[in-house]
Structure formats: structure tokens, C-alpha cells
Amino acid sequence: MAYGNALTALADPTRRRVFERLRSGPASVGDLAAELPVSRPAVSQHLKALKIAGLVTDKPDGARRVYYIDPDGLGELRRWLDQFWDVALEAFKEEVEKPRKPAGGKKP
């Protein structure tokens, strides 16, 4: 049920921007804060949420701390989504092809 955390984590726009920025390569907290319109503590809090959700991981690099995307949370989210994919297509098709009533058409 960690996909719940991942979804709530990615719901926030700013947090999503952090995550999307990390797609173009690892970055430190300061780097991210410099590119975003929020303070450094805010970024730190966002990264904490993303980390709990399994979407990012961190690694110490001297006094800094480098963050990068973690495939774990991403994979779990993908699997959850795929549960709907095939089912959705089938139900959708069935529903559309069924024009309310097999035969008829009343027009006063």
C-alpha cells in the first residue's frame, strides 16, 4: 500500500517539480532550492516525503547530500496502474458498444 504514499507525494505541484527535476540527474538540496521558488527547508521537507514514498534516495557526498530517483516506488506505482489498464479498456469498449437498448427508438 505504499503506492498511496507515492500518489500523495506526487500530488503536490512543487514536490512534482522536484521529482521531475531529478529526472535530469541527481542534485543536492541546495541545488534544487536554487532552481525552485521555495526555501531550502521546504525542499528538504518535500524530499523527505518523496523518500518515505520510495520515490527518491539520498547519498552523502561530503558535507552535501545528493538525491536521485529511486526505481522502487516508481515500479510499485506502475504495477498499480497496470492493474487498471486492461480492465479499463475492456469495460470501456463494452459500455460504448452497448447503445442503451438493443432495439427500439421511440419518437412521439
Partner DNA sequence: ACAATCGGTAAGCCATCACTTACCGTAAGT
Partner DNA sequence: ACTTACGGTAAGTGATGGCTTACCGATTGT
Nearer to DNA by C-beta: 39 or 83? 39
Element (H, E) at 77: helix 71-97
Evaluate whether 23 touches 67 at the Cβ level (below 8 Å).
no
Residues that bind a second copy (CB under 8 A): 4, 7-8, 10-11, 13, 16, 19, 23, 25-26, 57, 59, 61, 66, 68-71, 74, 77-78, 81-85, 87-89, 91-92, 95, 100
C-alpha cell of residue 46: 518535500
Residue with smaller CB distance to a second copy, 33 or 77? 77
CA distance 68 to 15: 14
Select the binding partner of residue 108 from DNA, a second copy, none (C-beta < 5 to 8 A, by kind).
Answer: none
